Amino acid sequence: MDDAAARQALADAQSAPSLVTRPSSAEVLAGAASVALVAAAAPLAVATDAVREIRWVVAAAVWVVVLAWLTRRRPGARLRGRVDGVAFWACLAAALLPVGQLLWSPDSVGGAAVAGSVAALLLGTFLGVRWRR
């Protein structure tokens, strides 16, 4: 292969069509609902003042994992990158933070609300990056 052929092959590789597809309406709706769920789960659980309500916080975190898996499964889904990877793990950590609060200091709804908001923001970032064309 000579220099010109290599340049042509590189140009061909760079101009290859994109296979990235937009998410379906159902996926966007599920994403928006999930952001709301993650934002609400922790403060609602803490507000009930019952340790057993940890299950709702854990359920929200599990749903984040399921949603992340679903967004990768769709054909044409953008390849996972560093930014969405960081946003995902940070979201999961923020979503699970109120578990400790429920166990050891279940009186402060404010802390759980902040953690829930941060987790929701990170989930929104994650989804936004995943859905970018």
Partner 1 sequence: MTGAVDPRDVLPTVIHHPLRLAVLSSLRHVEAADFVSLRDAFATTSAEMSRQLGILESAGLVEVLKSRKDRQVVTQARLSDHGRTAFATYLEELRRISEGLG
Question: Which chain residues interact with partner 1 by CB under 8 A?
Answer: 1-3, 6-7, 9-10, 12-14, 16-21, 72-80
At residue 53's C-alpha, the angle toward residues 47 and 57, to 5°, is 90
The minimum distance between CB 28 and partner 1, in angstroms, equals 18
The nearer residue to partner 1, 4 or 107, going by C-beta atoms, is: 4
The nearer residue to partner 1, 94 or 129, going by C-beta atoms, is: 129
Nearest to 78 by CA among 27, 124, 18: 18
Contact 68, 88 (CB under 8 A): yes
The minimum distance between CB 67 and partner 1, in angstroms, equals 15
The nearer residue to partner 1, 9 or 103, going by C-beta atoms, is: 9
CA distances from 66 to 25, 26, 69, 83, 114 (A): 18, 15, 5, 19, 23
Contact 91, 126 (CB under 8 A): yes
The minimum distance between CB 71 and partner 1, in angstroms, equals 9
Helix axes 82-104, 25-47, angle to 10 degrees: 20
The nearer residue to partner 1, 56 or 126, going by C-beta atoms, is: 126
The minimum distance between CB 78 and partner 1, in angstroms, equals 6
